Amino acid sequence: MLDLATLRKNLMETAAQLALRGYRLDTEAFSALESARKQLQIDTEALRQKRNDLSGQIGRAKAQKQPTDALMAEVGQLGDVLAVNEHALAELLAKQEAFCLMIPNLTHASVPVGKSEHDNVEVRRVGTPKTFSFTPMDHTALGELAGLIDFETAAKLSGSRFVVLRRQVARLHRALIQFMLDTHIQHGYQEMYVPYLVNETTLRGTGQLPHMADDLFKTNDERGLYLIPTAEVSLTNLVRDAILNGADLPLRFVAHSPCFRKEAGSYGKDTRGMIRQHQFEKVELVHIDTPDRSYESLEQMVSHAESILQKLELPYRVLSLCTGDIGFGAAKTYDLEVWLPSQNTYREISSCSNTEAYQARRMMTRFRDAANKLDFVHTLNGSGVAVGRCLIAVLENYQDEAHNIAIPTVLQPYMGGLKTLSMKE
């Protein structure tokens, strides 16, 4: 969440910055809450001070063996009023926190200003899309040739936006996961295995709650746990409520996990194939770093995600997202988009973001620097990369006219030396 001190001191300037990302900050509502909080806090402190003064008078009266009944009665009455005030103040602070939890992060000065994805800025392109001598098939049509990508059975099991992968395609999917994990471990990440079900506090820490409540799957038991939309949630919360040693930073975590999303608001989008699923796999990267290094850390994370596509020899481009397209908690985001021949365009396969101290304030995650001063860490997250979309890219970019898929060289050891996968077997 945003720094309350910043909101209090620079409310209108903050509102103007948030407007760049299409968010209207209700300054009147915040000012009303803040005014009520100030007055109630002043009144409550005054009552506490008066009670303390009276308690002192009672102590002195007792020492002088003077009557204290009237003073004690007044203290009792003050205590009742103080209890009412303290309860009201707690409720008001909770309302203010709920208000602030729905405010997105401020964007970094380097983020391009824009209203939609059309205003994102291309940073670079790597690789040249292959020219086919035939019309390339999309992954859905390829998978249907031998039932290796099976949406019909998945729909019978679960409904729309699910898939069953069979035989060599399932193995290729698993190979991609192992390859990505091994690559990122070589980059210096600590591999983690984390829970796929988490509580409300955990999701609030990384900003998915309350903002993304409609897109989350929730259990119906007494604990009300949620299925994670990304391993970012579990990985980042590993340091919740912690005071870290600055000398130990950066921390770099990597984990493979399924991700679960209702895809609320995506009706009619990407209904064909595996592009947009309720359940999909990702290899997630998380950095915990100091404020002075976090943007260098972001560039490193992007390069680590890029290395996956480079090793697979897949054409891709890097975009800097504009203020109108950036995610709720991000201060700056780069998207990696991979080339899909069937669509004749680039599609997102990774998103790498620096949230600065936005998540750290929610999680109360701080560090001590060399001077023993406490400050909030900066948290970063990114896909390294989305496994299903990477599978799509490999199938489509490596197909031939006979419907065979050439296995990328780096994946062949993970496929038992297999060099070609037939989609007609």
pLDDT reported for residue 263: 87
Contact 154, 162 (CB under 8 A): yes
Enzyme catalytic residues: 261, 276, 348, 351, 389
Question: How would DSSP label each residue in 2-13?
Answer: --HHHHHHSHHH
Confidence class of residue 72 from pLDDT cuts 50, 70 and 90? confident
The pLDDT tens digits for 305-356 are 999 999 999 999 999 999 999 999 999 999 999 999 999 999 999 999 999 9
pLDDT reported for residue 260: 97
Q: Is the dihedral of CA 128, 131, 132, 137 positive or negative?
A: positive
pLDDT reported for residue 79: 87
CA dihedral 340, 344, 345, 348 (to 10 degrees): -20
Confidence class of residue 222 from pLDDT cuts 50, 70 and 90? confident
Angle between helices 27-63 and 69-101 (to 10 degrees): 160
Q: Within 10 A of 6 (CB to CB), how many other CB atoms are there?
A: 12
Taking residues 176-201, what's their average pLDDT?
Answer: 98
The pLDDT tens digits for 33-44 are 999 999 999 999
pLDDT reported for residue 267: 67
Distance CA 89, CA 78 (A): 16
Angle between helices 167-186 and 387-397 (to 10 degrees): 110
Distance CA 15, CA 197 (A): 35
Percent of the chain with pLDDT strictly greater than 70 = 99
Question: Would you give the end-to-end CA distance of the chain in angstroms?
Answer: 53
pLDDT reported for residue 425: 66
Distant-in-sequence, close-in-space partners of 176: CB < 8 Å, separation ≥ 6 = 387, 390, 391, 394, 411
The pLDDT tens digits for 231-285 are 999 999 999 999 999 999 999 999 999 999 998 666 677 778 899 999 999 999 9
Taking residues 181-188, what's their average pLDDT?
Answer: 98
SS3 123: strand
Contact 285, 189 (CB under 8 A): yes
Percent of the chain with pLDDT strictly greater than 90 = 89
Preceding peptide of 250 cis, ω within 30°: yes
Average of per-residue pLDDT values in the chain:
95
pLDDT reported for residue 69: 86
